[in-house]
Amino acid sequence: MRKVNEVYKSLSLSEQNTAALGKRIGNLISPEICVLFHGELGSGKTVFIRGICEALGIAEKIVRSPSFTLVNEYKGIHPVAHADLYRLEGNKNAVESLSLNEYVDEGRILLVEWAENGDFDMMDDIIRIKIETDSDNKDMRKLNFSAAGARAESILAEFAREQA
């Protein structure tokens, strides 16, 4: 796995707060960025992605986790490809057949749920977001942000400055 540097940690105390964090990232990202999401079922990955898409002018109601279609494409300020690799756990060939790197090469923002089921080392600019639930507080989420690649690191540095 490619070395990814941790850049920022945050807490979310509600679904609305998780979406707002997504919107802040969405205001900063640009085409050819890959955002990888890690977290258990119900941790808020799709909620965060809805926030990103809202910032990009994509209606919240059309942003759905593509669990069965595997990849949804959205048109907004920047084009977005939203992938969900949940059903492909352990099937690296199926993940490779999606050719997700082509979405980035074509100038889209790539958002990937269940990214641990794929290999993204070939991507130039990656932001990883790990979302953890809290056993004591069902609404609280711990978010760990990290980046690889100069543009991705710059985006997270700006995100951290805005959060401070």
Predicted confidence at residue 144, as pLDDT, reads 95
CA atoms within 13 A on the CB side of 6: 6
Output the pTM of the full model.
0.92
Q: Give me the pLDDT at residue 2, please.
A: 53
pLDDT at residue 10, rounded to an integer: 92
pLDDT at 3: 57
For the chain, domains (ranges, CATH) are 5-163 (3.40.50.300)
Q: pLDDT tens, position by position, for the chain (164 residues)?
A: 455 566 789 999 999 999 999 999 999 999 999 999 999 999 999 999 999 999 999 988 889 887 778 999 999 999 999 999 998 877 777 888 889 999 999 999 999 999 999 988 889 999 999 999 988 888 899 999 999 999 999 999 999 988 76
pLDDT of amino acid 5: 65
How many other C-beta atoms can be found within 10 angstroms of the C-beta atom of residue 122? 11
